[in-house]
Structures are given as structure tokens and as C-alpha cells.
Amino acid sequence: MKNILFRLYLNLMRSGAKLTRIKENKVVILNGAGRSGSNGYLFAKYLRQHHPEYDVALVEPWPSSHLPLKTWRQIGAAKYIFTTHQPFKIHRKQISIQFWHGIPLKRMGIMANNTDYKTDARNARLWRRNADMVCSSSDFYETLMSACTGIETSKYRQVGFPRLDALTRPAVTKKELLQQLFGQDDVQAQIGIFMPTFRYEMADEEIMNRIKDGNFLALPDFDVEKLNASLKAKNQFLIVKLHPYEMRLFKKQHSHFSNISFLNNDFLYEQDFDLYELLGSTDFLITDFSSIYFDYLNLNKPIIFITAYLEQYEKTRGLLFGPFKEVVPGKCVNTQTQLLEAVAAPDHYQAKRQYWRNLTNEVQSASYCEQVFTLMTKKY
């Protein structure tokens, strides 16, 4: 019922916004990606800094049923509309450019195990009707996206993604990151970041209870004191960035340990940063099935994969390719003991990371934002 009412709301507001006259220099970015590698947010920053001749409106969160009429009029006046999730436009003459928010690793849309076909088919029709151009990074990316959403090949433009500009040229230095999150300034230390996927959708009560009780790794032998001691002995620090939903469930959102710090969205909003503007200053990534690892390949730094609940995830939602443990460019671990060993082990995955980086990002550019801007203005 909620979905039906929300679609009615969107149709009503779209009808009202159609009365607004389009402005040639008006750009609206509908950002549903928050501050976690948001192409929309970062491209808005770029436009405001480098192209003040364009009137840029960043609409977030999107979609929302609480947007004022003024905002809807801005959407209706936009010549260019960028989206991070489903494509959206009001007038036929508007140009809708789709960023999306990551390279697909997990099954979604018509490929997912846990979605409704009628909904997926309706979404596929929205892509065909509303997306004029879809930003892409490679043939591989296009294959994955089209498998899930049915996008026609003619819509893709291989211009890369704005988030990679922030990743490879971080706005926050390693020293600043150590000072702000750990109160330290030893730049010889290593900083790791743990970023899991949305684990709640597995509907596994045991895993969610572990997270609620403070076991953010959701591993059977989790021991936070031992983890902190091991990090301290190796002169390493660990940033924990959970999905916002998990952070709300998490009972211990503030770490009392010297070498572990939780990063939440409030910090990013207060500092006016996207996660990718500091991610490039980290030294290694720990994840499970989050597609962030594809982007992290552009740093050529170690990646460790937690696969303790791989079987549950494949059954509930599914992955787009595999076998997962054989194809990922990093060590797979199922326990904290294995994780600590992997963090201390020599890195032997450089060649495999390079292979996957070339496969997922065929577009090499000094400025992906500039390439998207050229796409927007030349309309090719």
C-alpha cells in the first residue's frame, strides 16, 4: 500500500512541476546515495566549484515524500537531471543522465532471488522511458547492469564515475584522518576500513543478534579486545563504517578502544564530506560482498573478504558471478583469527587486483567529473 501511495504522490507532484518552464542552465541532482561514494553529491560539488555558470540544485534524500513545492519546481525547471538510483524526469525535453551508485556484485532487479517480478518489470520500463544516458566504466559493467535492469546498450556512455576522482585524490589526508578519528598523528601507522554490505536483508536472526551485541564483524570467534590489541601491536587502526540501518541497531556505537573507531553519516554531513573523500587515505579494506571493492581496486591496496555468511547471502539474494572465493582479488576469511592473520600477511594479490581493475574500469581519466560534464553539455 505504501508503494502505491508513494507512486501516486510522485505522479501528482510531477504533474504540478510540469507547469514550470525549463531553464537551459539548470541542473538538478537527485541523490539517493547519501555520503557513501555518491556520484551525485560529488558531481554537484564539482559543478559548483568549476562551473558556476550552471544553477545546481542537490536534492537529498531522494526519493522523499517530504519535499517542498519549491524543490519540485526546481526539478521541473531542470534541463539536466542526474540520478543515483532509478532514472527520473518530468518533461520529455529534459535530459536524464543516470549515475547509479556502484558496480553490481550482488544480484538485483530481475536477477535477484528476493524481489518481485512485477516490480522489477515496472522498474525496467522506467529505465527505458526515463534514462536518456547511463554513465558506464566498462563493457563488464554494462553487461551486469543490463542483466539486472534490461538497459539498452545504446544508452551507455563510457565516461567513468565522479566518485573515483574523490577516491584517488582524497580531500582528507591520512594525518588528518588519524587525528580526527583516533587522536593520533603517526603517519607511519596503517589505517584499515571495514565496510560490509547490507546484512539485514539476509533475514538471519543469528547474524543480526551478533551485530546488535557489538559483534560488528559478525564472526563466531569475535573478541574486540583481542582485535584492538592486535591492531595496536601492528601499529594499525581500524575504521568501522556500517550500513546506516545497522548503526541504528548497534548498541555500542562509540568505541572505547584505542585503535577502533566508528564512522557514521553524521560525521560526514558535519564535515561536508563524502566517504570517498577520505577513503583514499586508508591502507587496506575489509569487506564482505560490498561492491565498494571494485572502486578500491583503483588504489591498488590490499582487500580482505569476510565470507563467513557467504552461503546465506547467495541463497537469500545471490551474487552475479562466482565462485566468489575464487574470483575475488584478496584473501577470504571466516573467523577473526583468520582475519588477523590476513591483515599481517604479505600482499600477493597485486596482479589479480590489476586484472579486475582493468576489467571493471576501462575508462582512464584525469577527471571523471570533467568527462561527465562534457557528456552533459555536448549531449553525445
Does residue 295 share a domain with residue 178?
yes
Does residue 179 share a domain with residue 49?
no
**CA geometry: angle 286, 297, 124, nearest 5 deg:** 95
Which of 377, 300, 277, 299 has the alpha carbon at shortest distance from 38? Answer: 277
Strand partners, 150: none
Does residue 319 share a domain with residue 174?
yes
Does residue 315 share a domain with residue 193?
yes
CATH (domain of 135): 3.40.50.11820
pLDDT at 379: 58
User: Cell 502505491 identifies what position?
Assistant: 4
101-130 tens-digit pLDDT: 999 999 999 999 888 888 888 888 999 999
The mean pLDDT value for 238-265 works out to 81
pLDDT at 223 over 90: yes
The mean pLDDT value for 16-43 works out to 92
Number of structural domains the chain divides into: 2
Does residue 144 share a domain with residue 24?
yes
Q: Specify which of 182-186, 197-201, 336-340 reaches the highest per-range mean pLDDT.
A: 336-340
Which of 274, 283, 157 has the alpha carbon at shortest distance from 231? Answer: 283
3-state SS class at 151: coil
Does residue 329 share a domain with residue 182?
yes
CATH (domain of 191): 3.40.50.12580
Identify the domain containing residue 371 by its residue range.
Answer: 2-160+364-378
Does residue 212 share a domain with residue 195?
yes
What CA–CA distance (Å, rounded) separates 250 from 216? 8
What CA–CA distance (Å, rounded) separates 167 from 148? 26
Q: What percent of the chain has pLDDT over 90?
A: 73
Does residue 54 share a domain with residue 135?
yes
Strand (E) positions, the chain? 23-30, 55-59, 78-83, 95-98, 133-136, 156-158, 190-195, 236-240, 260-262, 284-287, 303-306, 331-333
Does residue 186 share a domain with residue 135?
no
pLDDT, the chain, mean: 92
Does residue 301 share a domain with residue 271?
yes
Does residue 336 share a domain with residue 305?
yes
Strand partners, 23: 78
pLDDT at 244: 76
Mention every residue, 6+ apart, whose C-beta is less than 8 A from residue 215: 222
pLDDT at 380: 44
Does residue 227 share a domain with residue 190?
yes
